[in-house]
Structure 1
Amino acid sequence: MTTGMLQENAANLPPGVGPKFRPYASSNHHVTKGRYITSNDPRGYIPVYEYPLNGQWIMMDIDDGYILWTGIWKALGNSKADIVKMIDSQPDLAPLIRRVRGGYLKIQGTWMPYEVALRLARRVAWPIREDLVPLFG
């Protein structure tokens, strides 16, 4: 049964209990949890749901729902330079994105809020739409 993306109401949960975001169920993808240490985040680490796709890692930050857009972009066969051009062409994205540089290679790249990543995926990720079910339903 597919449960859907749950954004739990923080008022109903004690602080720090349970993730706010959860992946959709998918019989085609094995989603696992990971936790990667980084100095780029005030938490000191990034807790993620993750799964491989076309040699890339598709990740969602468990705490805030940020999506590693670089993984989606590269899974589409696009280059790192193309993602920079795309973001630079849309200056309204700049204050919303988070860039992780250095540290563990898997988590490096451009992270963006769930809603922004969903909107962009609807525009550019049609070829891998079925592989994005765990993130976006």
Structure 2
Amino acid sequence: MLQETTIPATPSSAIGPRFRPYASPNHHVTKGRYITSNDPRGYIPVYEYPLNGQWIMMDIDDGYILWTGIWKALGNAKADIVKMIDSQPDLASMIRRVRGGYLKIQGTWMPYEVALRLSRRVAWPIRDDLVPLFG
């Protein structure tokens, strides 16, 4: 028998964040909240963990991923990320660039799905270290 499921009439904030890190025995993911004038919220709430001297971050509210952290954890130069994004104009409208403010959150942020696709193409060497983000 098919049962009908109902969604409780509670505000979305009561349900919890849509994006959550996956469990990983090798990574200690913490929550952070960084003040910035680049975001209409006035801050960016993140899940974060260190990797190869860089911070891997996910925006708790909208799932944006700090691509700069992944890119640098791979050992790539900052200039390379600009070339990569400039070579794909369709990305330009989807990315957020955070400049100024707290150093950890500065860089290029992109939607979860875009970061996942790019990671599958270029982040093979650190794939096991991206489990908290992408499963």
Superposed displacement of residue 13, structure 1: 4.2
Change (3 A) 1:134 1:12: farther
In 2, Cα distance between equivalents of 1:12 and 1:132: 34
1:15 corresponds, among 12, 17, 32, to: 12
CA distances 1:77-101 after superposition (whole Å, capped 9, x unpaired)? 0000000000000000000000000
Give ranges in structure 1 of 5+ residues lacking alignment.
Answer: 1-9
Counterparts of 2:85 and 2:8 in 1: how far apart (Å)?
Answer: 35
Determine the structure 2 residue equivalent to 1:84: 82
1:33 corresponds to = 31
Of 64, 71, 77, which aligns to 2:69? 71
Which consecutive aligned stretches of 4+ in structure 1 deviate over 4 angstroms post-superposition? 10-13
Alpha-carbon distance in structure 1 between the residues aligned to 2:17 and 2:60: 6
Aligned CA RMSD, in angstroms, stands at: 1.3
Normalised by the size of structure 1, how large is the TM-score?
0.91
Q: Percent identity?
A: 89
Alignment of 1:34-73 (within 5 A): 34-73=32-71
1:39 maps to a residue whose letter is S
Q: Which amino acid aligns with 2:121?
A: R
Could you tell me which residue of structure 2 aligns to residue 5 of structure 1? none
Count of matched residue positions in the alignment of Structure 1 and Structure 2: 128
**Aligned twin of 2:106:** 108
User: Offset of 1:16 from its aligned partner?
Assistant: 2.1
User: When the two structures are superposed, what TM-score results if normalisation uses the length of structure 2?
Assistant: 0.92
- Cα drift, residue 14 of structure 1: 1.4
Which structure 2 segments of 5+ residues have no match?
1-6
Which one has the largest radius of gyration? Answer: 2
Q: 1:25 to 1:90 in 2, by over 3 A?
A: same
> What's 1:3 paired with?
none
CA drift of 1:11 comes to 7.0
CA distance in 1, matches of 2:37, 2:29: 25
